Structure 1
């Protein structure tokens, strides 16, 4: 799933940052959660981080429906409903609401309907007053096979259509299926679908700006290019974003052949470049705009994104939650929001931020699929 972001080089795949010859670990070793470690996480003044739920296994994508919080688990293939029934900031109710769904990952709600996506299938069901799901019905059953990227995400746009992110099936290659490395769009019944945007290697995290309704997403750069940034893209209908021929600001990937009938340089000149970049191989996994009312006013309309963390880089990149500042509907800066999961001089870590959702009380929740936890970020002036 990986990719990395940061300052791009001169267009060639370099080795900078992909070391390890000095004995440093390419993959920081996992350490367990402890109260002391959580207390050492770094957040802006006035914010605090606590553990909302633990022992969840492969906790991936999050979604909120009323006071309920849902988490998908591709392995074992189920969806859990969590609830904090006594208001102490910790989930004390845990119910399995969907099962037997291998690689279930994306989840979205519209009114009383829930949509889930696995590698090949989009399901629809209804949600009752207790937060339970009805029997799920497949509405799309032929999404492309995933290969390297079998985990899909799903969202519902302001136009009340489904948007499904389908990653590439490889790190750097020309795809045989035009629906791979895209975001697809379909009506709510899934009866038809079109390619909304292409050239997106693996845009797991995407969301619509609450004021402009415009779609923004973070794409994972090519693993085998040491200097390929992860990208924040303004995703518009019909646009091509460059992969596999280009990375970063229209830089040419030397690993793949020319597109049919043209050169990579000419093709890349016609693609849409990223608006902002993150450090290479930081692996953006979820993105959500803040729509709550418990954070300071200047956070509304900003986005948060999880950076799952590198597996092939020294020093490691990612392993944090970032804030993407927006002004007048446009992103202007990326800055750390929750950091400190990498410890022991980069040799270890105790969390890989994964899913994101804004809870009904305005808290920001993010999951960690390494230690099987969900964290809760709150603000108190």
Structure 2
């Protein structure tokens, strides 16, 4: 008799999983799930919105720039903006993807609600969209695609298909609570690029052959239907942000480096990849050219690429994008805007800011702080930036998973 509650719990879990799978299968077959159309909107006003606006008063930026609250979005992580500007999708490290809509075009969101709610998500952190309107979501171990995403987004049931089935992005035994937040982008070759952070601080040597085979600790690419998978980038610890240069088409990506080596080492990284298969040095290097203790006596592979920029240790460089809008001054054209999430294991916290990186004609990159102030005078976080996205008017959106918000940064030339 004592085993009955545990057995009942197992049966309930199996039934829940079967229901979730059934919902996905129904939606793949363009059938309804019977999910209610009832409103699930996230409250956008009230005391929380007012406090977030007060917090933004502490943010400093170059002259002419302004930051405003755009939306309240719980656990907001990586973002994808619809090509026609109707809606934005926001992933989380939990079980929801949200849609954010500005219907009256006053550059403040009107509606925030869960997207495709009948689907059972597991860390749908990464969302990205193609120029022809196909949305992709990358979970801890699955990839889904949503055709005609701008058309179907207002209903709980949406057009959906499976690109990589559950359990086939990485071996299921390598699934972890650590470094499972994937990101994706559609490359200039029309393939989908997906980061696969490895689950350890520094991986054990016996895992390396398996990880090299699957691209764990790297970036993989595949055709948009999931075929022709290949490892594009190697020697990466946990990249949670990448984008392609608008003119060269070359891949740039951030990488989070080894913990537990001290406050000031190793540095974080912004990397520049110019050819398939290049190796960026992890786990032989813990960040920059700082050797890891675990691989100190191991020979470093030939041709390892050093970072284009070494960033402050433990600032946690995450999402990034190349700026192609027309609102900001000319010096920001094709610059990289990136988010530093902020340190968790440093005596004095650092990060929690937006950085900008300019690239000269020789390809040399220079990174400086652009927007900061999310660490208050007590050393406490009022926000933790995660990702950057660009709206059609050329303003940018910053996501914040700590405050559960999106911020809009705009520019107006100072009066002469």
Q: For the superposition of Structure 1 and Structure 2, which TM-score range results when normalised by the shorter chain?
A: 0.7 to 0.9
After TM superposition, the structure 1 = structure 2 runs for residues 7-22 of structure 1, keeping only pairs within 5 Å, are none
For these two proteins, the number of residue pairs brought into alignment is 341
Go from structure 1 to structure 2 and tell me whether the alpha carbon gap of 1:155 and 1:373 turns closer, same or farther (over 3 Å shift).
same
Distance, in Å, in 2 between the alignment partners of 1:155 and 1:146 is: 22
Residue 350 of structure 1 pairs with residue 382 of structure 2: yes
Q: Give the counterpart of 1:230 among 268, 272, 275.
A: 268
Distance, in Å, in 2 between the alignment partners of 1:188 and 1:60 is: 23
Distance, in Å, in 1 between the alignment partners of 2:149 and 2:241 is: 27
Distance, in Å, in 1 between the alignment partners of 2:303 and 2:261 is: 21
Q: Give the counterpart of 1:181 among 217, 221, 240.
A: 217
What is the root-mean-square deviation in Å for CA atoms of aligned residues? 1.8
Aligned partner of 2:237 in structure 1 is 201
Question: Aligned with 2:56: secondary structure?
Answer: helix
Distance, in Å, in 2 between the alignment partners of 1:336 and 1:257 is: 33
Instruction: From the two aligned structures, give the one with the greater helix fraction.
Output: 2
Structure 2 residue runs without a partner (length 5+)? 1-49
Distance, in Å, in 2 between the alignment partners of 1:138 and 1:328 is: 41
After TM superposition, the structure 1 = structure 2 runs for residues 219-368 of structure 1, keeping only pairs within 5 Å, are 219-226=255-262, 227-235=265-273, 236-254=275-293, 256-257=294-295, 263-264=297-298, 266-267=299-300, 270-328=303-361, 330-346=363-379, 348-368=380-400
Q: Give the counterpart of 1:71 among 90, 100, 103.
A: 90
Question: Aligned with 2:55: secondary structure?
Answer: helix
Q: Tell me by how many angstroms 1:95 deviates.
A: 3.4
Q: Give the counterpart of 1:113 among 111, 134, 139.
A: 134
Residue 85 of structure 1 pairs with residue 103 of structure 2: yes
* Superposition TM-score, scaled by structure 1 size: 0.85
Aligned partner of 1:375 in structure 2 is 407
Distance, in Å, in 2 between the alignment partners of 1:184 and 1:341 is: 33
After TM superposition, the structure 1 = structure 2 runs for residues 91-102 of structure 1, keeping only pairs within 5 Å, are 91-99=109-117, 100-102=120-122
Structure 1 residue runs without a partner (length 5+)? 1-31
Question: Aligned with 2:319: secondary structure?
Answer: strand
Aligned partner of 2:11 in structure 1 is none
* Superposition TM-score, scaled by structure 2 size: 0.78
Higher RCO, Cα 8 Å, sep 6+: 1
Residue 162 of structure 1 pairs with residue 192 of structure 2: yes
Q: Give the counterpart of 1:140 among 143, 156, 164.
A: 164
Bigger Rg, structure 1 or 2 = 2
Question: Aligned with 1:349: secondary structure?
Answer: coil
Distance, in Å, in 2 between the alignment partners of 1:367 and 1:166 is: 21
Residue 62 of structure 1 pairs with residue 86 of structure 2: no
Aligned partner of 2:13 in structure 1 is none
